[in-house]
């Protein structure tokens, strides 16, 4: 699969940016400076193929929902696929036609690749390259691990496998060991099982204990009954306290009802109905009075309105004339201006006539010349001007050529007679590349001086310091293999010492933890360990033996000793029993004490063993250091550590290689100096011929020789230029003579053409009204006048027509206005016609408004009549209903206003009494209201709070006493449980400990199996990678490795160690062996990974990775290989080799390299030419 184009429509900093990858290119190089969007472009490829993730960091210019990417893919079979991608899971792929594609449309192109696999296997940057190369070193060149890591892009497989094996060994092994977790759990399991078996049944004071338990139970039951009676009395008093205020409120409202006096019985809401009817009657009465007042005001307004019927009849005529008043006024205002414009156009026509010299004094339309006559004059004007310009140009050129001819003659006189410089040129040619040789000589001398100084400075910077490289060359130095062997020995010893120090530190840390735990356990009181219990029991038995002897041997003299012995025996018995009891209750504490005590002993033993091993290893380290120093004794150098000396040896070899190059350059400089000595006589002869005064050339420095050679070359070149110039002067002299003759003939021809033009000109200007001898400028002025004349004629005629029409409209308006004013408004006849019509229209509008007001007043009076009738009817109905209400309760109509408030107040009191009774019912707990009243009357309401407080205190006392009895009963029950089945708590603890131990053994076994299987799977994968891919991969990797190293290394192979385990090795080429002055037979010796330099290991891993990609591409559709500044740590030479290696796989895998280094682009162009496709991210505007 190849990427033909990448469309960054909206992604990262890009908008509508298209990257095109040229077909046929072996390598695509995407270049852009920092901040040009290289990282965005790199990430866009992964997001394009596998989806744009949510909350992407590339949505900083465009919204996440607006991000868009697109591409064109090309398969191995030549199929093309155009698509676009937007954010989201389903429906994110869009075809070229804009339709949504299936979500698995890319599956045939990706061949099952996931984003993670694509990133590991088909992506690589400089940091990952270096880390993977170090992985080869960590794996010690293990064949299978190296191949699998290169194929998958994963690192640390050998380390992971070893870690899993070590962790599994810490869990379980064939040999029982205390450090293994499984055996630790097994020991706890056996200990708990033993504790369960040792637990046995005991019995003491059985009947007394049971009787006490029964008594305590009876006491608890009695206290429970007392608490029930107490709660019942407390509930009664709280009920009376809640309902007492409610009864008081009811009694108060009843007294207020009695104070209202005798009132008739009415249904609910009767008082509110009376209030509503009274309000309705009053509102109707008020509305009737308001309507009467408004009616009187409307009648008065109607009487004040007067109407002019004759004026209203002329309304249409007045409105039509009023609409024309604005046009009439504008016409009267504009007429003088339009008349003035007409007169201006007439004056302009008179001025045009005067400018043409017409006798009539004004232009007439019949005098306008034809278009053909105007066109003929215009054509002749252009032709005449062109002819005049041509004649002037010819005369100017003639004068210029004559001046140049005179200058040429003066130059010819100045040069005089010249000699041919050919002999001098021949002598210069015989000197050959003298200037190049001087430059080479100078360059070599500068390089020798600079390199000599650089070598001295570099040698001085070496550690250990080298004073003179020549001294080192003659002395023996340890070989790389010897340094490597010592480095391995030192590293092995250092690792062993570090491990032992870690073991000792860990042991001391665990011992300190154990001491802290033991101190903590001791701080909780004496630990009833088995030893302490046995010691207490031993002391008790000894005292018992002594007491028994005293009892068997009675005597008064032993009485005091016997009493003391009995007291001591009691103390020992109590101490032993106390320890035993505590041991039964503190099993976990005792077990922890035993465990930490044993752990302390073990860790101290391990720390001591580590100290002895460290002493032995440091002695070996000292011995090895002495041997290492002896290996360098012949070199006269005091060696540093092997790793540093290996770097020293590499740097020293590089300096010696540069020293050899310096010697070769010195030989070349000597040869160049000899060639310059041969050329010096010829240079002296040339200087003499050219009359140059110089010292003896034998003592002249190279720089002065170069200056002299340059002066001679410039003088010879000047003579050659003068000779060539003289030859050129003769040719130019002939050319000037011919040019002057041609120009003179052209001037005569132009003068003849002008005579013909004058005849045609006279005829043409007569046709436009000018005299025959008129000039071109006069004709141009006349043409300007005749071009303006049609517009002036049209403007004058237009203004004349407008004046006539405006005067006609004014007369018509005035003729219609005069009779109308005489008919309806004679008082306005003296005003201007438009002002009179406007005033008359104002009167008409006012009269029309008065007519509308009169009609509105009539309608208002009619409405008032209807509303007054309705108000009177409403009042009658309200009074009738009030009379009915008064009759229904036997009262007069006028008494209703004072009666309804008392009825409303009584109804409110009755509703409140019903609400209070409902509250009493809800709080009465089922008791009748009368019974509650009687009970409340019989109670002392002032003592309710005090009685309730006393009941609460008594309840708290009973609860406390019940809790005490319950706690005592529980202790006796616990004691009976112990007597029935042993120490139940201790047995439960032991059982739980055994269950915990079982769970720990199960978890340890599961962990062990998982880690062992994981290690075996990794080992199997490494073995399979070695068996399946090693032959083709190694062949390809060897070829690529040779490309990457520029032929310094010939191949990658495998070798087997003592355990028959294959490892990667490299073999240098014979040219490299010869260049490094290594014996020829060393060419067959393999170099392990650890013996390679850091840069070579980088190249080795890259070769393995590229070999895997080409192998994969032969079997499946391979994705492009994406490199991100892959050669950032390479020098220019290695970078060139790397670019060629990438291009070499370009037929099978599409390599795309991103970089911001411009020198990488230059190296690629120089190394690959057209095979590289350079794509610039940054486009200058």
129-154 pLDDT, tens digit per residue, is 788 777 766 655 454 455 545 544 44
Residue-level pLDDT at 194? 75
* pLDDT band with cut points at 50, 70 and 90 for residue 1082: very low
Cβ(933)–Cβ(917) under 8 Å? no
- Does position 557 have pLDDT exceeding 70, yes or no? no
pLDDT value of position 140: 52
Residue 62 CB neighbour total at 10 angstroms? 17
Over residues 869-882, the mean pLDDT reads 86
Please compute, for residue 233, the number of CA atoms within 13 A of its CA located in the half-sphere on the CB side. Answer: 17
| Alpha carbon 178 to its chain's center | 53
Q: Is the pLDDT of residue 201 over 50?
A: no
pLDDT at res. 1174: 92
- Write out pLDDT tens, residues 214-272: 888 888 888 888 888 888 888 888 888 888 888 888 888 888 888 888 888 888 888 78
Give CA–CA dist 954/226, Å, rounded: 10
- pLDDT higher than 70, residue 36: no
**Residue where the block lists tokens 């070996």:** 620
- How would residue 202 be classed by pLDDT, with cut points 50, 70 and 90? very low
Euclidean distance between CA atoms 962 and 219, whole angstroms: 8
pLDDT of 991 reads 67
For residues 369 and 619, which has the higher predicted lDDT (pLDDT)? 619
Q: Model confidence at 21, in pLDDT bands (50, 70, 90)? A: very high
Which range is least confidently modeled, 27-31, 196-200, 467-471?
Answer: 196-200
Quick one: pLDDT at residue 203? 39
Average pLDDT over residues 937-949: 80
Residue 1180 has pLDDT above 60, yes or no: no
Q: What is the mean pLDDT of the chain?
A: 79
Between residues 1031 and 892, the one the model is more confident about: 892
- What pLDDT score was predicted for residue 984? 47
Q: Which long-range contacts (CB under 8 A, 24 or more apart) does 413-420 make?
A: 415/722, 415/725, 415/726, 415/729, 418/719, 418/722, 418/723, 418/726, 419/719, 419/723, 420/723
pLDDT for the residue 200: 42
pLDDT tens-digit readout, 1126-1158:
887 788 888 998 999 999 988 889 999 988 888
Pick one of 1.10.287, 3.40.50, 3.30.530, 2.60.120 as the CATH number of 480-642: 1.10.287
Residue identified by tokens 């509650």 is 932
Give the length of the chain. Answer: 1181
Which range is least confidently modeled, 15-19, 152-156, 770-774?
152-156
pLDDT at 1125: 84
Which residue did the predictor score with more confidence, 563 or 882?
A: 882
State residue 144's pLDDT score.
47
pLDDT computed for residue 1058 by the predictor: 58
Q: How do the domains of the chain map onto residue ranges?
A: 206-266+900-981, 371-417+702-766, 425-476+643-689, 480-642
The more confident residue out of 664 and 561 is 664
What share of the chain has pLDDT > 90, as a percent?
A: 4
Mean pLDDT of 396-416: 78
* Alpha-carbon span 979 to 972, nearest angstrom: 10
- Which pLDDT band, with edges at 50, 70 and 90, does 934 fall under? confident
Q: Which of 59-73, 112-126, 1036-1050, 1077-1091 holds the top average pLDDT? A: 59-73
Low-confidence winner among 6-15, 266-275, 621-630 (lowest mean pLDDT) = 266-275
CA distance 675 to 887: 158
Q: What is the pTM of this model?
A: 0.34
Distance separating alpha carbons of residues 718 and 721, to the nearest angstrom: 5
With 60 as the cut, is the pLDDT of residue 1122 above it? yes
Nearest Cα residue to 511 out of 598, 594, 590 = 598
Residue pLDDT, tens place only, 980-1028? 554 445 556 666 777 778 888 888 888 888 888 887 887 777 666 555 5
DSSP state of 1169: G
- Greater confidence, 514 or 1179? 514
The token duo for 557 is: 């003299």
Residue 451: pLDDT above 90?
A: no
pLDDT at 722 exceeding the cut of 80: no
Q: Which residues of 843-876 are buried (b: 16+ CB within 10 A; e: fewer)?
A: ebeebeeeeeeeeebeebeeebeeebeebeebbe
Question: Residue 943's pLDDT is what?
Answer: 79
- Nearest CA-CA partner of 481 in 1080, 1091, 1097, 1070: 1091
pLDDT of residue 858 exceeding 50 = yes
């Amino acid at each position: 699969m190849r990427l033909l184009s990448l469309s960054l429509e909206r992604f990262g900093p890009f908008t509508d940016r298209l990257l095109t990858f040229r077909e046929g290119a072996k390598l695509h190089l995407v270049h852009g400076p920092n901040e040009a969007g290289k990282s965005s472009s790199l990430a866009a490829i992964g997001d394009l193929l596998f989806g744009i993730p949510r909350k992407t960091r590339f949505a900083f210019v465009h919204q996440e929902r607006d991000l868009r990417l697109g591409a064109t893919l090309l398969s191995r079979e030549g199929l093309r696929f155009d698509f676009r991608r937007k954010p989201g899971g389903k429906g994110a792929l869009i075809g070229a036609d804009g339709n949504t594609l299936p979500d698995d449309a890319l599956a045939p192109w990706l061949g099952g690749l996931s984003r993670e696999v694509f990133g590991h296997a088909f992506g690589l940057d400089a940091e990952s390259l270096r880390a993977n190369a170090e992985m080869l070193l960590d794996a010690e060149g293990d064949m299978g691990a190296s191949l699998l890591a290169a194929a998958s892009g994963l690192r640390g497989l050998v380390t992971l496998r070893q870690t899993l094996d070590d962790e599994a060994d810490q869990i379980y092994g064939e040999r029982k060991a205390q450090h293994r977790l499984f055996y630790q759990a097994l020991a706890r399991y056996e200990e708990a099982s033993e504790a369960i078996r040792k637990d046995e049944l005991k019995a003491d004071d059985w009947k007394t204990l049971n009787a006490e338990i029964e008594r305590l139970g009876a006491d608890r039951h009695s206290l429970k009954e007392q608490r029930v009676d107490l709660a019942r009395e407390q509930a009664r008093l709280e009920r009376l306290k809640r309902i007492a205020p409610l009864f008081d409120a009811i009694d108060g409202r009843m007294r207020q009802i009695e104070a209202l006096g005798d009132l008739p019985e009415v249904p609910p809401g009767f008082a509110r109905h009376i209030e509503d009817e009274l309000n309705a009657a009053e509102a109707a009465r008020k509305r009737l009075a308001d309507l009467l007042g408004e009616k009187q005001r409307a009648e008065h307004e109607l009487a004040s309105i007067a109407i002019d019927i004759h004026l209203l009849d002329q309304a249409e005529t007045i409105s039509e004339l009023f609409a024309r008043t604005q046009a009439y006024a504008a016409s009267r205002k504009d007429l003088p201006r339009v008349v003035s414009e007409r007169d201006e156009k007439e004056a302009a026509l008179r001025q045009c006539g005067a400018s043409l010299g017409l006798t009539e004094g004004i232009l007439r339309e019949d005098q306008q010349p034809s278009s053909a006559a105007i066109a003929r004059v215009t054509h002749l004007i252009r032709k005449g001007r062109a002819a005049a310009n041509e004649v002037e140009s010819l005369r100017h050129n003639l004068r210029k050529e004559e001046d140049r001819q005179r200058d040429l003659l003066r130059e010819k006189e100045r040069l005089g007679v010249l000699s041919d410089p050919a002999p001098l040129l021949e002598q210069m040619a015989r000197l050959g590349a003298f200037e190049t040789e001087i430059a080479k000589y100078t360059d070599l001398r500068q390089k020798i001086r600079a390199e000599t100084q650089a070598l001295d400075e570099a040698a001085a910077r070496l550690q250990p310091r080298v004073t003179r490289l020549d001294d080192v060359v003659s002395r023996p130095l340890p070989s790389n293999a010897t340094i490597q062997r010592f480095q391995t020995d030192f590293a092995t010893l250092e690792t062993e010492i570090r491990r032992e120090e870690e073991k000792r530190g860990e042991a001391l840390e665990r011992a300190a933890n154990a001491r802290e735990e033991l101190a903590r356990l001791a701080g909780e009181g004496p630990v009833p360990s088995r030893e302490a219990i046995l010691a207490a029991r031993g002391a008790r038995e000894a005292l018992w033996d002594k007491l028994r002897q005293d009892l068997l041997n009675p005597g008064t003299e032993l009485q005091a000793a016997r009493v003391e012995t009995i007291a001591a025996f009691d103390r020992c018995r109590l101490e032993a029993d106390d320890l035993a009891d505590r041991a039964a209750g503190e099993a976990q504490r005792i077990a922890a004490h035993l465990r930490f005590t044993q752990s302390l002993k073990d860790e101290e033993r391990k720390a001591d063993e580590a100290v002895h091993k460290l002493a032995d290893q440091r002695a070996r380290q000292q011995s090895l250091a002495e041997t290492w120093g002896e290996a360098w004794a012949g070199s006269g150098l005091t060696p540093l550590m092997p790793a540093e000396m290996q770097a020293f040896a590499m740097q020293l070899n590089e300096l010696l290689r540069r020293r050899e190059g310096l010697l070769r350059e010195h030989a070349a400089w000597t040869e160049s100096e000899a060639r310059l000595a041969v050329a010096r006589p010829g240079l002296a002869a040339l200087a003499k011929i050219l009359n140059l005064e110089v010292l003896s050339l034998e003592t002249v420095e190279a720089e002065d020789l170069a200056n002299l050679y340059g002066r001679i070359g410039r003088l010879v070149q000047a003579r050659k230029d003068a000779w060539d110039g003289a030859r050129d002067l003769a040719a130019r002299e002939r050319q000037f003579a011919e040019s002057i003759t041609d120009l003179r003939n052209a001037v005569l021809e132009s003068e003849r053409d002008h005579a013909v033009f004058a005849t045609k000109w006279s005829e043409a200007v007569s046709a436009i009204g000018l005299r025959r001898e008129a000039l071109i400028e006069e004709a141009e002025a006349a043409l300007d006048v005749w071009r303006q004349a049609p517009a002036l004629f049209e403007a004058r005629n237009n203004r004349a027509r407008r004046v006539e029409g405006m005067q006609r409209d004014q007369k018509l308006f005035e003729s219609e206005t005069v009779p109308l004013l005489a008919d309806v408004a004679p008082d306005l006849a003296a005003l201007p016609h438009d002002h009179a019509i406007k005033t008359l229209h104002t009167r008409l509008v006012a009269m029309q408004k008065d007519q509308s007001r009169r009609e509105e007043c009539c309608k208002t009076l009619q409405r008032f009549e209807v509303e007054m009738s309705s108000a009177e009817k409403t009042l009658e109905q309200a009074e009738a209903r009030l009379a009915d209400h008064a009759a229904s309760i036997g009262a007069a109509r006028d008494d209703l206003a004072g009666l309804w408030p008392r009825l409303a107040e009584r109804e409110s009191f009755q509703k409140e009494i019903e609400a209070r009774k409902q509250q009493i019912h809800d709080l009465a707990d089922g008791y009748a209201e009368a019974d509650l009243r009687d009970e409340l009357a019989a109670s002392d309401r002032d003592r309710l709070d005090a009685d309730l407080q006393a009941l609460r205190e008594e309840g708290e006392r009973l609860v406390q006493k019940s809790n005490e009895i319950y706690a005592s009963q529980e202790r006796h029950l616990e004691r009976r449980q112990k007597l029935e089945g042993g120490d139940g708590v201790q047995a439960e603890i032991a059982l739980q400990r055994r269950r915990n131990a079982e769970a720990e053994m199960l978890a340890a076994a599961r962990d062990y199996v998982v880690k062992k299987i994981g290690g075996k799977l990794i080992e199997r994968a490494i073995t399979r990678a070695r068996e399946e891919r090693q032959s083709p991969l190694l062949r390809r990797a060897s070829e690529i490795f040779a490309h990457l190293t520029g032929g310094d290394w010939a191949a990658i192979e495998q070798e087997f160690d003592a355990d028959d385990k294959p490892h990667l090795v490299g073999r240098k080429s014979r040219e490299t062996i010869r260049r490094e002055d290594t014996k020829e037979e060393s060419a067959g010796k393999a170099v392990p990974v650890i013996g390679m330099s850091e840069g070579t290991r980088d190249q080795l891993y890259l070769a393995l990775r590229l070999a895997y990609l080409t192998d994969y591409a032969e079997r499946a559709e391979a994705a492009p290989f994406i490199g991100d500044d892959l050669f950032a740590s390479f020098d220019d030479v290695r970078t060139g080799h790397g670019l060629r290696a990438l291009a070499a796989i370009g037929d099978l895998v599409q390599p795309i390299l991103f970089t911001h280094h411009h020198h990488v682009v230059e190296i690629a162009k120089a190394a690959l030419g057209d095979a590289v496709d350079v794509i610039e991210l940054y486009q200058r505007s």
